Amino acid sequence: MSNHRSSVYPARRAVDAMPAQPALVLHDAIPEDDAAALLASAIASEALYSDAQTLSSHLKLHTGRHRSARILTQNGAHRDLIALLALQHGSALRSHFGDRIVTTPVEESEFAASGAGDWFGPHRDDGAAPVANRSLTIVLYLHRFPCRFSGGELALHGFLDAARQRFGPVQMIVPRHNVAAIFPSGTLHEILPVTLPTACFADRRFALTCWI
C-alpha cells in the first residue's frame, strides 16, 4: 500500500484486534418511510457538505490524504436512530451488544456522500484523542433507485487464522439501501473506491454514520 493510503492512526497491538465477522448487518434496518426521509434530507442538504478531513495521531486535520468524500456533520440530529433500528431488530441488537445499545442516545453523527473515486483508507474510529471514547460505530447506507454507483464496500479487518498470524479483510459489506452495519469502533476498517458514471450528487453513495 502506498504512503498516500497508509493509516495515519496509531498502530494497535495484535491482541487488540477484533474477532472475525465483527459487524452485525441489518437488512431493512429502519422503517422504509424513515429511510426515504433520511435520504431526501441528505440530498436536499447538498450545499452544506464539505470535503472530508481526517485527524492524524498528531491531532492535525488533513484533506485528501487518507479519505475522499463530501461530508455533513450533524451532531445531535439523529438521537433516535438506535430507537428506529430497535423497532425491527431489538433482539439482535441486544444479543450482540447488550442493553446499552438501545438505551444510549446518539450524539455524534455524520452524513458522507461518496462519488466517483472516493474512498477511505484503513482506520479505526476510536483512534485519536478527541474520538478515543467511541465504543460502537453504526453505519446506515442509503441510495436512490436504480443504484448508479458500484464499489464503496466496507471492508472490516481481523485475524484470518486461529494462530493469529495473518491479518486482513474478514468481512465485506455491500452498501445497499437501508442496510446497517454495527461494529466495535476499534475495528480496523476501510471503504473501497466508489465508481459512479454520473456527476449527479443525488446518485452518490450516502452513509449516515453514528457513534456511541
Burial 103-137 (b: 16+ CB within 10 A, else e): eeebebbbbbbbbbebbbbbbbbbbbeeeeebebb
Residue 74 neighbours by CB distance under 10 Å? 18
Q: Please give the Cα distance from 132 to 129 (Å, whole number).
A: 5
Least confident of 51-55, 68-72, 170-174: 51-55
Helices (H), the chain: 32-44, 81-97, 100-103
pLDDT higher than threshold 60 for residue 5: no
Query: Do residues 104 and 81 touch, judged by C-beta distance below 8 A?
Result: no
pLDDT higher than threshold 90 for residue 202: yes
Q: For residue 82, which of 66, 58, 104 has the smallest C-alpha distance?
A: 104
Q: Enter the pTM of the model.
A: 0.86
Task: Kindly state the cell numbers that stand for 109.
Answer: 453523527
Amino acid (1-letter code) at residue 129: A
Give the alpha-carbon dihedral of 1, 142, 174, 10, to 10 degrees: 30
Residue 163: what pLDDT? 66
Residue 130: what pLDDT? 79
